[in-house]
Structure 1
Amino acid sequence: MRKFIFITLFLISNLIFSQVKGTIIAIKDGDTVVALLPDKTQETLRLADVDCPENGQAFGKNAKQFTSSQVFGKTVTFYRIGKDKYRRTIAKIFYDNDKYLSKEIIKAGFGWWYFKASKNLELQKFQDDAKEKKLGLWADKNAVSPWDYRESKKKKKVI
């Protein structure tokens, strides 16, 4: 029985954390892309470690454009690390000789380090640096995080 449980857990972890290649065929927003996999299926990927402004939010279009400029049409390598509440795959995406997409977004000032779900403290430093240099969304001294923006939209619906 133990052997069966071990093998099952091993296979599940390989499915979740395995390296996958795909071509980015769509950019939904700054932190969500669609990959075409080698078997011709599509998979929606929500970037790990970063939260970008929503499409209707200030800098939302800029974040989407930045992500597009980095990976649209490119073959990337990604690692599945889980699923979100919308059943999208949460993934760490790497491109152009191992650039980490979430890190590049944060460095350019088009997303927040998503500290609620990320343990990568290095990304906090990149966010602080972008903020200090007033890059991207940090040019707005009243920048609103996506989670605060979504919360304010919920409250408006209730009223």
Structure 2
Amino acid sequence: MKHVIAFVLLLAVSASAHADFDGRVVKVADGDTVTVLHNREQVRVRLGSIDAPEKRQAFGTRSQQHLSALVFGRTVRVVEDGKDRYGRTIGVLHVQGVNVNREMVRAGMAWAYTDYLNDRLMPVLEIQARVSGTGLWADPHPVAPWQFRRNEAAARRAKKAQN
């Protein structure tokens, strides 16, 4: 009987660890991170399966603006998929039935993040955006955010080595 009770408690804890919730978007940090007000608590949410350009990168501001137009000040449904290494909730945002994560990729405002992919439709949406030259794919040489971050880190290391 103790094992059954322990199992039920474990299920309850794991279910609450990935609980979906509704809230109002009060901040859009960039093209893949928002702050959602839920039960008077601000929850930072990293949109799963996508990687948007960094703010300092080409299309970074446009990506942030596009996400803001979709969700800022609106009530969203967050389908939680865990936490990232920075403690942010990873999730899929839905607003009025629209999957916002997919919309960002479809609009050419983010890449399908293949290293952390939980949505198999993302690469298809990215290819469609690429072929049509939508959003960041209008740039003849777009740089993926993960490559941009690596390049910046290498430049910082090189600069530090010179000093």
Question: Same fold by TM-score, threshold 0.5 exceeded?
Answer: yes
| Alpha-carbon distance, 1:4 to partner | 3.9
State the identity %. Answer: 31
Match of 1:134 in 2: 133
Question: In 2, distance between residues paired with 1:141 and 1:12?
Answer: 48
CA contact (8 A) 1:16 1:81 kept: no
Does the aligned pair in 2 maintain the 1:49–1:114 contact within 8 Å?
A: yes
Matched-pair contact (CA < 8 Å) for 1:36–1:43:
yes
Q: Distance in 1 between matches of 2:12 and 2:152?
A: 41
RMSD: 1.1
Q: What is the Cα deviation at residue 114 of structure 1? A: 0.7
Alignment-derived partner of residue 16 in structure 2: 15
1:24 and 2:25 correspond: yes
Please, what TM-score do these two structures have when normalized by structure 2? 0.92
Q: Distance in 2 between matches of 1:140 and 1:103?
A: 20
Q: TM-score by structure 1 length?
A: 0.94
Which residue pairs with 2:161 in the alignment?
none
Provide Cα deviations, 1:49-90, integer angstroms capped at 9, x if missing partner: 100000101000000000000000000111221111111111
Q: What is the match of residue 81 of structure 2?
A: 81
Structure 1 portions without partners, runs of 5+: none
2: distance between equivalents of 1:29 and 1:99?
Answer: 19
**1:94 and 1:36 mapped to 2: Cα distance?**
15
1:116 aligns with: 115
Greater displacement, 118-127 / 86-95: 118-127
Number of aligned residue pairs: 157
Counterpart position of 1:68? 68
Look at both structures and tell me which one has the larger radius of gyration over its CA atoms. Answer: 2
For residues 129 and 87 of structure 1, what CA distance do their matches in structure 2 show? 32
Structure 1 residue 104, shift from structure 2 partner: 0.2
| Residue number in structure 1 paired with 2:101 | 102
In structure 2, the gaps of 5 or more residues are 159-163
Segments of 4+ in structure 1 off by > 6 A? none
Deviates more, 1:79-88 or 1:62-71: 79-88
| Partner SS state of residue 115, structure 2 | coil
Going from structure 1 to structure 2, the CA distance change for 1:91 and 1:119 (only over 3 Å counts) comes to closer
Cα offset for 1:6?
1.8
